[in-house]
Chains A and B, each alone.
Chain A
Amino acid sequence: MKAGTNLEKVLAGGHFTVTAEAGPPKGTSPKVLQRKGETLRACCDAVNVTDNQTAIVRMSSLAGCTLLKQQGVEPVMQMVTRDRNRIALQSDVLGAVALGIGNILCLTGDHMRFGNHPTARGVFDMDSIQLVRVLKTMRDEKKFISGDDISGDVPLFIGAAENPFADPFEYRVLRLAKKVAAGADFIQTQAVFDVEKFQRWMKMVVDRGLDKQVHILAGVIPIKAAGMAKYMQTSVPGVSVPQGIVSRMEAAGKENAKEEGVKIALEIIEQLRNTPGVHGVHIMAVGWEDIVPEVVGKAGLLPRPVID
């Protein structure tokens, strides 16, 4: 075991793993995340707390993960390289470990221009792949990348993201291989709507044996409304929503939108369970965390395994 976190144990046990995302508030109340933690506790093996997602300032991931930890919900701390340099990032890793956080997902981050502080300076001292390697160095060599020793252990379960729907398609597997080589233990992908394309990517992943070296959790976003489907289709870079799904949501109308959205998510999850190399799902129900227990339940993934 690298960190002995619940996420690591569930994946190591060969269970189809479930993680979900909890977005922190644009404010100071701990209650927001605590409520999301309670909602997601029994239906997830770990819960990601995002890091100023979309470059919009929110409560920090480190604080959010600590709140979840305090209520007994296992967190995954997301860290972007957009806002902090190597000094701050390594420092936050030490703090995270001291607070009992073991799962860390390494990302570059959405560009500042998407957020509410578009005039901010971007840091980008390193990218996500370099951050994965930094964490691996801290954990396995117990050293900072400067070469100094770290006192104490740094038990980390290191994650990274990959997007099979970005271009160039063929290069995406090579980039995944780089993340594995850098030290990624688990991968959470961008949301899957185009299952056929995702399965083509997974075939390349399996052909290279990467599924034996890293655990891949496929992203799923339950769609709440037709407008949301349309928005993702046209305005979110790297998210690919087939017209078929948009049409289904439009046809469902307002009253049946949520029901249809859940149906679509369940169909996708079923196909993902049958896709070789996929070890779980990562449910990103942004602003709709309440639906996750229903989705996980109806997908036949309850109860979640309890591992000592």
Chain B
Amino acid sequence: MLSITQPKKFEKVLGFLKRDQKVFLVGCGTCTTIQHTGGKTEVLAMKAKLEESGKQVTGWMVIPTACDPLVEDAVLEKAAEINASDAILAMPCSFGVQTVALYTKKPVYPALNTMFIGKEQSPGKFNEVCMQCGGCIIANTAAICPIVRCAKSLFNGPCGGSVGGKCEVDPNTPCGWQQIIDRLTEQGRLDQLEEIMKLKDWNHSLWGGPRQITLEY
């Protein structure tokens, strides 16, 4: 899986930097390098664009994995160039942006939108299959998550807009419930869907408040 990112429009990024003349750039060597959104090439391209727009780039670095506590050491290593800047423009996914922000007093802005945790369908093609609700229900739905794969998160779908196996919201999106029904039919277990799914406990998801966990190894 990969943290899937897309570049923000450059005007938006310039908007973040309206109070900042000197910028330090940070990229990431993992997900955003693979996707060509925040690796070395993109960092250098951003440097050129910022300089063309009249900003001064005090320095740059590509942190191998920007969501790692080792970011603290990386930031220390570049202390001089970071201190010389007014702000940091960060090009990892938002996990990396927020990690960098932990270890500096400078403002840190995201150059990318973090879209979803992507599963690779075929080389270069990623889709969203899980939203980490904390209470997995896919035992009931042939290992396909209706919360994510159905546009309306139906628990007892499909809705009345499912036509030809496609979702009413986007003709390129398969109807998640059609997929669930197909797979259960293949398994001879369509009768599983006769049971009405209980109301979701959202308390273990985002809506229960910020989540954290300590693992004991």
A172-205 interface code vs B (CB 8 A; 1 in, 0 out): 0011011001100000001000000000000000
Tell yes or no: B151 within 8 A of A by CB: yes
Are A133 and B163 in contact (CB-based, < 8 A)? no
Q: By the criterion CB–CB under 8 Å, are B181 and A122 in contact?
A: no
Question: Quick check: B193 and A167 within 8 Å, CB to CB?
Answer: no
C-alpha spacing A93/B152, complex, angstroms = 22
Minimum C-beta distance from A250 to chain B (A): 23
B197/A108 in contact, CB under 8 A: no
A sample of 17 inter-chain contacts (CB < 8 A) reads A108-B154, A109-B152, A110-B168, A111-B169, A122-B152, A124-B152, A125-B199, A125-B202, A127-B157, A130-B155, A161-B160, A166-B163, A167-B162, A168-B162, A181-B196, A237-B160, A237-B168
In the complex, what residues of A have CB within 8 A of residue B157's CB?
127
- Given contacts A108-B152, A174-B193, whether A237 and B199 have CB atoms under 8 Å apart is no
A32 at interface (Cβ–Cβ under 8 A)? Answer: no
Chain B CB within 8 A of A52 CB: no
Instruction: Indicate whether A166 sits within 8 Å of B152 (C-beta atoms), given known contacts A182-B196, A237-B163.
Output: no
The one of A122, A125, A133, A166 in contact with B159, judged by C-beta atoms closer than 8 angstroms, is: A166
Contact of A130 with B168 at beta-carbon distance under 8 Å, contacts A145-B199, A174-B193, A178-B194 already known = no
Shortest C-beta distance, A242 to chain B (Å), equals 15
Taking the closest CB of chain B, its distance from the CB of A292, in whole angstroms, is 23
Give A contacts to B, CB under 8 Å.
82, 86, 108-111, 113, 122, 124-127, 129-130, 133-134, 145, 161-163, 166-168, 171, 174-175, 177-178, 181-182, 190, 237-238
Interface size class of B (residues with CB under 8 A): 20 to 34
Q: Is the CB of B162 within 8 A of A130?
A: no
Out of A111, A133, A161, name the residue touching B196 (CB < 8 Å).
A133
Residues on A with C-beta less than 8 A from B155 are 126-127, 129-130
Pick from A111, A174, A175, A182: contact of B152, CB under 8 Å: A111
Docked CA distance A116–B40 (Å): 41
Chain B residues with Cβ below 8 Å from A181 are 194, 196
Contact A238-B168, Cβ < 8 Å, known A82-B152, A108-B154, A174-B193: yes
Q: CB within 8 A of B200: which of A126, A166, A171, A174?
A: A126
Residues of A within 8 A of B164 (CB): 167
Beta-carbon contact of B161 and A166 below 8 Å: yes
Closest to A161 in B: B160
* Docked complex Cα distance between A15 and B151 (Å): 39
Complex A-B, nearest 10 residue pairs according to Cβ-Cβ distance, in ascending order: A163-B160, A237-B168, A237-B161, A129-B156, A127-B154, A124-B153, A238-B160, A166-B160, A238-B161, A111-B169
Residues of A within 8 A of B98 (CB): none
Is B178 interfacial (CB 8 A cutoff)? yes
Partner of A108, one of B159, B181, B202: B159
- Taking A171-B190, A177-B194, A190-B160 as known contacts, 15 extra A-B pairs with beta carbons closer than 8 A to each other, sorted by chain A number, are A86-B199, A108-B154, A111-B161, A113-B169, A127-B154, A127-B157, A161-B160, A167-B162, A167-B178, A168-B158, A168-B162, A178-B196, A181-B196, A237-B163, A238-B161
Closest residue of A by beta carbon distance from B164? A167
Q: How far is the CB of A274 from chain B (nearest CB, A)?
A: 25
Check B196–A129 contact: CB distance below 8 A: yes
Enumerate chain A residues within 8 angstroms of B168, measured Cβ to Cβ. Answer: 110-111, 237-238
